[in-house]
Each structure stands twice: as structure tokens, then as C-alpha cells.
Amino acid sequence: MSSTWTLPDDLVVPELPADHPGPGAPIPQHWGRCFGCGDDQPSGLKMDFVIGEGLEVIGRLEVANRFQGGPGFIHGGILMTAFDEAQGMACSAALRAAVVTGHFETDFARPIPLGSVLEIRARVEGTVRRKVYTSADARIVDGPLADPEVVVASSSGLFVTVGHEHFEKGRRFADGLPGPDRDVSAF
Ligand SMILES: CCCCCCCCCCCCCC(=O)SCCNC(=O)CCNC(=O)[C@H](O)C(C)(C)COP(=O)(O)OP(=O)(O)OC[C@H]1O[C@@H](n2cnc3c(N)ncnc32)[C@H](O)[C@@H]1OP(=O)(O)O
């Protein structure tokens, strides 16, 4: 795999929040209609997440038939979406802040068959002002071609922290709205 991605020299590695739960703690979906994690989005990925070690989160994706690209294999854009969701979740869990994706790149190392279960480990590498540098890798842990030792894809992404006013702009286009109880500090 190759990448043009480089981390800046002035990267700051954040401290975990004092009440950060330990590895294995479930991370709630950030809202039900999200294409990545929502359980109220029938066409979505329906990913599940738990806290990992340190600044890492662990996501799980069941590669359903509707995620097909080339015959028998996952669509590359679906895989990027899964990485995007996982890396965004890592930001949110580590920083307790809302983020949006600014820049994203993915290496596709192996074809991933339908019926696989993918484990995506995503982490915050560090921050520079509002910029959050993240990385992630994916392994097939169940189903056809499962081999938890082999990284089948990896990803790097720059996220930018935003205030709630960012989402106010989308309110009138929204298909439903997050409830008033939505709280990223609920991890
Ligand atoms: C409701 C709450 C939800 C919570 C969700 C949490 C869970 C998430 C899970 C969901 C996961 C799914 C998530 C999704 O799918 S999010 C959906 C996809 N992403 C978007 O729609 C974002 C669209 N872009 C924007 O809104 C603005 O451009 C943003 C907000 C990103 C920045 O505009 P803003 O005017 O605010 O700030 P700024 O321009 O001063 O930039 C600030 C800094 O950032 C640097 N920069 C900016 N862009 C890039 C770039 N492309 N490459 C490299 N660097 C970039 C910039 O140079 C500057 O750096 P520096 O000057 O400090 O050095």
C-alpha cells in the first residue's frame, strides 16, 4: 500500500477525557438517520462501535449484498463511507466534539467479499487547532476469506471540529432531526 499522507510536525496528541470509558464500552449511534451508524436508516451501513485502546475505536460492518460493487465484492465507496464513519467516531469519542470530514484517502489492498464481517480500527493521531488527523485499518474477521492478521484496506483522514451552528444550516433540509437529548458526552 502507498500513501501521500503525512502528519504535521506540530501535531498535538490529546489527553483522553477523564471519564472516558474503558475498552469495550459501546459507543451510541450519533443519530438514528445517519447512513453509517443509524438504526433508523434502512439503506444504511448500520455499523456498531465500541471504545478501543487509547484514542482508538473499533467498528464492525457486515458486508450486505446491497453494498456490492463489482460482482461479489464490496463497492469501494461503501468501504470509504465505513472508514469515514469510524474515523469520525474516533474524533468524537476522543475529543467530545462534533467533526466533519475535510480530506480523506483510502488504500484498497484486497477485494472484500459480500458476506464478510469487517473490523475497522480507527484512531485519532493528533490535532492541530481545529484539524484532527486520523487513520484506520480494516480486517476481515468473519465470513469468506476471513483472516484477522491481514489488513485489507486502510485510510487516513483530516476532520475539522465544528460547532452546532454548522448543522443548523442543514436543518430545513433534514429528513428528521436529532432529538434534544443527543449528547456526544454520552460515551
Ligand atoms: C450533530 C452533531 C454530530 C456529531 C458527529 C460526530 C460523529 C461523526 C461521525 C460521522 C462521520 C461522517 C462525517 C461526514 O461525512 S461530514 C460530511 C462531509 N464533510 C463536509 O460536508 C464538510 C464540508 N466542509 C465544510 O463545511 C468546511 O470546509 C469545513 C467546516 C471543513 C472547514 O471550514 P471552516 O470555515 O469552518 O474552517 P477553515 O476553512 O478555516 O478550516 C479550518 C482548518 O482546516 C483546514 N482544512 C479545511 N478543509 C481542509 C481540507 N479539505 N484539506 C486540508 N485542510 C483543510 C483549513 O486549512 C484550516 O487549517 P488551519 O488554518 O488551522 O491550518
Instruction: Give residue 1's pLDDT band: very low, low, confident or very high (50, 70, 90).
Output: low
Q: Ligand 1 pocket test: which of 45, 101, 160 has the largest number of ligand atoms within 8 Å of its C-beta?
A: 160
- Across residues 122-139, what is the average pLDDT? 98
Q: Complex ipTM, two decimals? A: 0.96
**Which pLDDT value is given to residue 15?**
95
- Across residues 147-174, what is the average pLDDT? 93
Q: Are 129 and 156 in contact (CB under 8 A)?
A: no
**Is 185's pLDDT higher than 50?**
no
Q: How do residues 67-114 score in pLDDT, each as one tens digit?
A: 999 999 999 999 999 999 999 999 999 999 999 999 999 999 999 999
**Is 183's pLDDT higher than 60?**
no
Enumerate residues lining ligand 1, CB below 6 A.
Answer: 30, 36, 84-85, 88-89, 92, 98-103, 129-131, 158, 160, 162, 167, 178
Give me the chain's average pLDDT, please. Answer: 92
**Which pLDDT value is given to residue 5?**
87
**Which pLDDT value is given to residue 31?**
85
- Kindly state the cell numbers that stand for 33: 438517520
- Return the CATH class of domain 26-163: alpha beta
